[in-house]
Amino acid sequence: MAAPGSDIEHGYPHLDTVRAAITALYHRLSRDTVDTFGLSVVPGDVAFADQDDLYLGVQRVARVMVQHLRLPDARMIVSFREMRHAGNVELAAGPEYFIELNSRFKTHRRDIGAALAHEVAHVYLHRLDLSFPGTRDNEILTDTTAAYLGTGWLLLDAYRQDSVSSQKLGYLTPEEFGYVLAMRALLFNEDPSPWFTSPQAYEAYAKGLELARRERARPPLTAAGWTGRRRYAKDRRAAQSGHPSPTGGDYAFDTGPPLSVSFPCPTCRQRIRVPVRGRLRARCGLCRTVLECDT
C-alpha cells in the first residue's frame, strides 16, 4: 500500500509474470471454468457507507468475495491492526480463514472491498494449490487472479493520485491492472470503466486496453496492420533463406523442416506453433480460442 505522497511505479515492469499468471490460470482452471467468471462483482454489492456498521459491513463484503470465487466452505474472520501492508491472510486448511486489514481502512471504508479482493484471492489460490515461487511473483499472481476473475477492478479503482497525496493497492502497477482488466474485458465483452470512481484508474485502464488490443493485431494474425505484415514478410524470407531465426517481437520462426512460426495466443498467452503456408485457422489447445492467421 503506497503511503500518501509516495512515488507510484508505472508502466509494465512485471508484464512477463502477469502473462505467465494468466497462462497458469488457464492450465489450472480450464477454459470452461474461466468462463463461469463472466460477470464481475458489481459496485452495489461491495458499497460501504460510513454509517454502516464496520464489522458487519466487512463480513458482508468478504462474503461477496467468497461467493464470487466459489468458496462456499470458507468463512472469513476479519480484524484490523496497524501494519505496513494493506492486509494479511492466514492460509490454513480451513474452513475458517483469518484476514487482518490495515487499521487505516476503519476510516477509509471505500477501499475495504479492494483489500478483501486481494486477500480472498490468496485463499482461492491456496485452495487451488496454485502458486509462483518467491513472494513477489506470488503476489503478482494473486493480483492477476483477482483482476482476471472479476474482483480486482476494485484494486485498480483504489489507485488515486493528486498533487499532495497518492494511494495504490496491490503489487501490479496501475497500467498492469488495466492490462489484465482489458484482457478480461475483451474475453467477456465486459466494460469495467463505468465502475471506476478514480479518474487515474480510468486512464490506467485505457492504457492497458490499448496494449491488449495491440496484442490482437500482431502478425501472423490477420488483424495485423500493414507495417507489422511487412516486417513479418521480411523476417519470413530471412527464415526461408536459412538465416538465424529472426523474431518480430512475439513471433519466432523455426526452420524445421517444414518452416513453422510460433506466437503467443492473445487470450491465454500460451505459445502456438503453426506451419508457414499462407492463410489458415489455428485453435489454441489451452483456451480453445480460434485465430485467423496469415503465415
Whether the predicted pLDDT of 249 surpasses 80? no
Q: What span, in angstroms and rounded, lies between the C-alpha atoms of 265 and 41?
A: 27
Whether the predicted pLDDT of 5 surpasses 70? no
Contacts of 40 (CB under 8 A, 6+ apart): 150, 151, 153, 184, 190, 192
Q: What is the pLDDT of residue 52?
A: 86
Residue type, 19: R
Q: Note whether 95 and 89 are within 8 A (CB).
A: no
pLDDT band at 291 (very low <50, low <70, confident <90, very high): very high
Alpha-carbon Rg for the chain, nearest whole angstrom, is: 21
pLDDT tens track for 168-222 = 999 999 999 999 999 999 999 999 999 999 999 999 999 999 999 999 999 999 9
Q: What is the pLDDT of residue 246?
A: 59
Q: What span, in angstroms and rounded, lies between the C-alpha atoms of 4 and 95?
A: 36
Grid coordinates belonging to 95: 474452513
Strand order through the sheet with 271-275: 252-254, 260-264, 271-275
Coil, strand or helix at 271: strand
Give the CB-side neighbour count of residue 144, counting CA atoms within 13 A.
26
For the chain, give the longest Cα–Cα distance: 72
Q: Which of 28-32, 75-79, 235-239 has the lowest mean pLDDT?
A: 75-79
Q: What is the pLDDT of residue 4?
A: 42
pLDDT tens track for 97-130 = 889 999 988 888 889 999 999 999 999 999 999 9
Q: What is the pLDDT of residue 7?
A: 75
Q: What is the pLDDT of residue 247?
A: 56
pLDDT tens track for 25-52 = 999 999 999 999 999 999 999 998 878 8
Please identify which residue in the block is written with the cell numbers 506451419.
275
Q: What is the pLDDT of residue 244?
A: 63
Burial of 36 (0-12, 13-18, 19+ CB in 10 A): exposed
pLDDT tens track for 130-183 = 999 999 999 999 999 999 999 999 999 999 887 777 889 999 999 999 999 999
Whether the predicted pLDDT of 94 surpasses 90? no
Q: What is the pLDDT of residue 165?
A: 72
Coil, strand or helix at 93: coil
% of the chain residues with pLDDT over 90: 73
**Which pTM does this prediction carry?**
0.93
CA distances from 273 to 16, 66, 253, 258 (A): 20, 38, 9, 12
Per the DSSP assignment, residues forming a β-bridge with 294 are 279
Q: Dihedral, CA atoms, 208, 210, 211, 217, nearest 10 degrees?
A: 150
Q: Note whether 188 and 38 are within 8 A (CB).
A: yes
Q: What is the DSSP string of 105-144?
A: GGT-GGGHHHHHHHHHHHHHHHHHT---SSHHHHHHHHHH
Q: What is the pLDDT of residue 211?
A: 98
Taking Cα atoms as reference points, which of 54, 131, 60, 56 lies closest to residue 91?
Answer: 131
Residue type, 274: V
Q: Please state the rounded mean pLDDT for residues 5-29.
A: 92
Taking Cα atoms as reference points, which of 200, 155, 198, 217 lies closest to residue 180?
Answer: 155
Higher pLDDT, 245 or 38: 38
Q: What is the pLDDT of residue 243?
A: 72
Q: What is the pLDDT of residue 248?
A: 52
Higher pLDDT, 52 or 226: 226
CA 80 to centroid of chain Cα atoms: 27
